[in-house]
Amino acid sequence: MNKKSLEDIEVQGKRVLARVDFNVPQSDAGAITDDTRIVAALPTITHLISHGAKTILVSHLGRPMGVTPKYTLKPVAERLSKLLGKEVTLLPDCVGDEVEAAIANMQPGDVLLLENVRFYPEEEANDPDFAEKLASLADLYVNDAFGTAHRAHASTEGVTHHLPAVGGYLMRKELDYLGSALTDPKRPFVAILGGAKVKDKIAVIQQLITQVDTLIIGGGMAYTFLKAQGLEIGKSLLDAKNLDFCREILANAGDKLLLPDDVIITNANPFEVGEEACETRVASVNDIPADWEGADIGPNTIAKFSAAIKGAGTVVWNGPMGIFEFSKFAEGTRSLALALAESGAITIIGGGDSAAAVVQMGYGDKMTHISTGGGASLEFLEGKPLPGVVALQDKN
């Protein structure tokens, strides 16, 4: 990372505003179901504590419309206190008199958590006055929220106009892994893209196709490519507006591009009828019946994709190979996770559904890096500058 990080600043006795990404999944009852993002922020927080900073943590949770009790950071404060073995007080707000008074009473080594910054619409609007108020709470700013770095919000970008701003350890780790995969990949460099829509992955396909040795496309988005080749895809997902884009990629990609040869088809949508009610079959991509849809990659495709992964030096993966939420259609995603785990390649999972799948399937600790930011890692792979990173101070 060519940006300043924690090691480049002296934090002893200073008030440090640390933007973290505590946007964790929760059950309907409000229990945290996955604390990966809290755990991932610990190296930065413990550095600040051990170096005598007064640490003021700021995060968003969910998409509240104004103050919404359901989106309080209370469960996060409790989990963080347990993980740190140290009391982390949640303040009732993120700006204002009460917050200022609490910060004035802090001692070096103390940690406070501000209440959900998105209770203020000014956060996402990157309102300059709101950013200034947030910044006025501290002497220094550390951004460790990679998962939100693709958004120019008050707490990720606005505050940097008022405070010396550096990256935290998680931010650096994410940028180092994703960055070196793109700039200096160990070859062969294989990218795997899946998920539902071509539309969401156009920019990343355009970028990766110029850099990789092999681009594997599976999941729902593969069917628009198959259709673009003139095949009948039945009721499979089709992104009709992007057929021309797929034709252009097919015309230029040569043997770099790997698509499914066979798929698991079903006569019903598992989200609508439940998976028990779905009949399934293996079908060649040349033989998808009009009233069936493709819901996972088939065994020959798993073998073909796994062979490409086996010989890879670097693999970057974003998006599941099928409707992996249901076990009948999760085999493709599971098999590729296993292929990555056994590959010996540098393996980078680009957040979101693929990260959840890899962890759920028990291969999390076999991967080189699992990104904490789905949207942010996708934008990074697209080659777009991330506003939350651009805003940090340069190293030199």
Active site residues: 37, 197, 352, 375
319 binds ligand AMP per the rule CB under 6 A:
yes
Among positions 43-72, residues that touch ligand AMP (CB under 6 A) are: none
Name which position in 147, 294, 298, 350 contacts ligand AMP (CB under 6 A). Answer: 294
**Separation between Cα atoms, residue 235 and residue 293, nearest integer Å:** 5
353 binds ligand AMP per the rule CB under 6 A:
yes
Region from 85-93, 165-173, 239-247, 315-323 binding ligand AMP, contact rule CB under 6 A: 315-323
- In this structure, are residues 220 and 196 in contact, taking their beta carbons and an 8 Å threshold? yes
- Tokens, residue 203: 């920019």
In the complex with ligand AMP, which residue's Cβ is closer, 65 or 240? 240
* Residues in binding contact with ligand AMP, number by CB under 6 A: 16
CB of 163 to ligand AMP, least distance (A): 35
CB of 278 to ligand AMP, least distance (A): 12
CB of 390 to ligand AMP, least distance (A): 26
220 binds ligand AMP per the rule CB under 6 A:
yes
Name which position in 195, 234, 351, 373 contacts ligand AMP (CB under 6 A). Answer: 195
Helix (H) or strand (E) holding 46: helix 36-50
Among positions 221-250, residues that touch ligand AMP (CB under 6 A) are: 237
Sole residue written with tokens 């673009």: 228
Helices (H), 51-96: 74-84
132 binds ligand AMP per the rule CB under 6 A:
no
Cα–Cα distances in angstroms (integers) from residue 53 to residues 59, 103, 298, 313, in the given order: 18, 12, 54, 41
Q: Does residue 362 come out as left (phi exceeding 0), alpha (psi in the -120 to 50 range) or beta?
A: left
Cα–Cα distances in angstroms (integers) from residue 19 to residues 142, 256, 337, in the given order: 6, 40, 31
In the complex with ligand AMP, which residue's Cβ is closer, 185 or 218? 218
196 binds ligand AMP per the rule CB under 6 A:
yes
Instruction: Report the length, in residues, of the chain.
Output: 396
User: Cα 102 to the chain's mean position, in Å?
Assistant: 33
- Tokens, residue 304: 């073909």
200 binds ligand AMP per the rule CB under 6 A:
yes
Q: Which residues bind ligand AMP (CB under 6 A)?
A: 195-197, 200, 219-220, 237, 294-295, 319-320, 322-323, 325, 352-353
